[in-house]
Structure 1
Amino acid sequence: MKQRLVGASGLRVSDLGLGTGTWGVGTDAAEAQVMLRMFRDAGGTLVDSSPAYNGGRAQEVLAAVLADAAVPRHEIVLSSSAGVVPDSPVGRRVDCSRRALMHQLDETLRVLGTDHLDLWSVGYWDERTPPAEVLDTLDWAVRTGRTRYAGVRDYAGWQLAVTASPRVVATQHEYSLLARGIEEELVPAARHLGVGVIAAAPLAQGVLTGRYRSGQATGVRAEVHARLGYKAHTVVDALTTAAEGLDISPAVVALAWARDRAGVASAVVGASHRGQLRELLTVADTALPRAIVKALDDVSR
């Protein structure tokens, strides 16, 4: 696995990140521990977390894994966020005020049993909080040593621009063959500002694993397949065809595509068990031919 710089900063992360979105629900602590060791042994460093994942249970599992010390804390780049509380009533789920962000950061550090994060991000744009206040809070977090670097998540290009600061080194957003919207505004803005892009959900919540290829969906897969639009069917079919020609899985092809897009520092992918992760880690040995990249680009536009 390669190490990449995040934007114009000195932060180095593995080009594949390990997501913890299933931890505490589909993945228990024992399985998570095995997966983290596998990821580390493959050269992975970036571990993505959030107090918003599974009502906080994901971070509790991550804390248990870190406490075991099978993978030393200094060997991973620990990333988390603040500002979003999914369990709150509608209209109050996003709060990026100084008070809320500070409280969530300190609570995250307490839960994880660490004195600092390596990357801490504001989890969502809050139209009720001035950007200057958000920036001041990010600056406070870095100055006090609670985090080494700061970033944002799920920002549009203009939102990143008005929050521009040397403190903001990363922007994390959904990016896949089925979600290329950030190429229009966010990616160019990030490039101009020297901010690195972290691609989230590069497998489009499992759709790009090839399980829902047209004409081959049955049972629960058929229900998911029926909800997908024509474009998604076309992309999945093209992706599966490319994978068959390369003799690798569709998931690895989709992951390699996202990982190697211009401006992307890392692609964060989740796996619920070691078997899935083992397959995805083979992306380290995968370089897509230009013809395949062009074909996927064309069909997914």
Structure 2
Amino acid sequence: MEQRYLGRTGLKVSRLALGTMTWGRDTDEHEARDQLLAFVDAGGTLVDTAAGYADGDSERVLGSFIGDLVPRDLLVVATKSGISRRTGTRVVDVSRRTLLADLEGSLRRLRLECVDLWQVHTWSDAAPLEETLSALDYAVSSGRARYVGVSNYSGWQTGRAVTYQQAWPGRAPIVSTQVEYSLLQRGIEREVLPAAASLGLGVLPWSPLGRGVLTGKYRSGTPADSRAASPHFERFVGIYLDKRSHRVVDAVVRAADGLGLAPLEVALAWVRDRPGVTAPVVGARTAAQLRGSLTVEDVTLPPEITAALDDVSA
């Protein structure tokens, strides 16, 4: 798999990242093991998780594989802190106290002394920005994280955080931003992508397949084994099961038929090769689904197809 630099750093990562949001909940350890092996065998290196995924079980499952199943030096391990669902509801807390406690918990579950990329999972007005960013400084200076980034920040939030870190020597530079980006969600093109390009950030799109909708699996209903049928993800997927999304999916399916590809290959290649993108984060419930995504490494969309998809999804 082709490797790309993460922003303006010397860190190279695979141009697809493996997402683990379903690990430990909808994806059991056996499927997760097969996913990781398939990803590494394909040349993948960047694996993304979070303290809040499955109440930490995603990190536990991944941690059980590092070293025993896959050598540590073959992986670029990324995690996130700041969102919890331990109380049964979504709680955002990006205070220094909580972020550093989350990081310690992540390292324990991952069985690591240091993660390669630690990201603030989302913005919150409840904590002063300088307090949130001080946690990133401490994580790097103490050797708990090699690089730091942000996730789900708007354009102005990204600009403010990055320039704050750049203003004083010795602060940990923010090197990446993880945001939703697909043919069904192109909002980051207004401000986030230009900000990332100007500030030298690597962009890690999550849900590059439109939360699974761009695979075409929902064109005639909701499969019983799909995420939309899961109580955890029904609402998460449901926002893209509308008329506008249906038109975009139809265009992707037509393009795929004409090129002899699967719809997911077309949708994923479109995101992967957008200007500024480092690595889309691809999640799958099963290893078979993941292998279907990994075939995109050999796909390059013709310019006229890219232009047509740009137009229908604008």
CA distance in 1, matches of 2:3, 2:151: 21
SS at match of 2:212: helix
Contact 2:177 2:201 (C-alpha < 8 Å) held by counterparts: yes
SS at match of 2:214: helix
TM-score, with normalisation over the residues of structure 2?
0.90
> Which of 243, 248, 268 is the matching residue for 1:230?
243
SS at match of 1:265: coil
Which residue matches 1:211?
Answer: 217
User: After the TM superposition, which residues 86-235 of structure 1 pair with which residues of structure 2 at under 5 Å, given as runs?
Assistant: 86-88=85-87, 93-164=91-162, 165-166=165-166, 167-213=173-219, 216-217=220-221, 228-235=241-248
SS at match of 2:30: helix
The alpha-carbon deviation at position 61 of structure 1 amounts to 1.2
In the alignment, does 2:33 pair up with 1:20?
A: no
The alpha-carbon deviation at position 38 of structure 1 amounts to 1.1
In the alignment, does 2:65 pair up with 1:52?
A: no
CA distance in 2, matches of 1:254, 1:273: 19
In the alignment, does 2:78 pair up with 1:79?
A: yes
CA distance in 1, matches of 2:293, 2:52: 24
| Structure 2 CA distance for partners of 1:35 and 1:186, relative to 1, 3 Å | same
Q: Which 5+ residue runs of structure 1 have no aligned equivalent?
A: none
Offset from partner CA, 1:187-213 (integer Å, 9 cap, x none): 101111111110100011110101123
Contact 2:215 2:264 (C-alpha < 8 Å) held by counterparts: yes
- Matched letter for residue 86 of structure 1: R
- Matched letter for residue 162 of structure 1: R
SS at match of 1:115: coil
- Amino-acid identity (%): 48
The alpha-carbon deviation at position 97 of structure 1 amounts to 0.7
Moved more, 220-229 or 31-40: 220-229
Contact 1:212 1:225 (C-alpha < 8 Å) held by counterparts: no
| Structure 2 CA distance for partners of 1:72 and 1:291, relative to 1, 3 Å | same
Q: CA RMSD in A?
A: 2.0
Which residue matches 1:33?
Answer: 33
Q: Which 5+ residue runs of structure 2 have no aligned equivalent?
A: 167-172, 230-236
Which residue matches 2:296?
Answer: 283
CA distance in 1, matches of 2:304, 2:182: 18
CA distance in 1, matches of 2:20, 2:180: 15
- Matched letter for residue 251 of structure 1: L
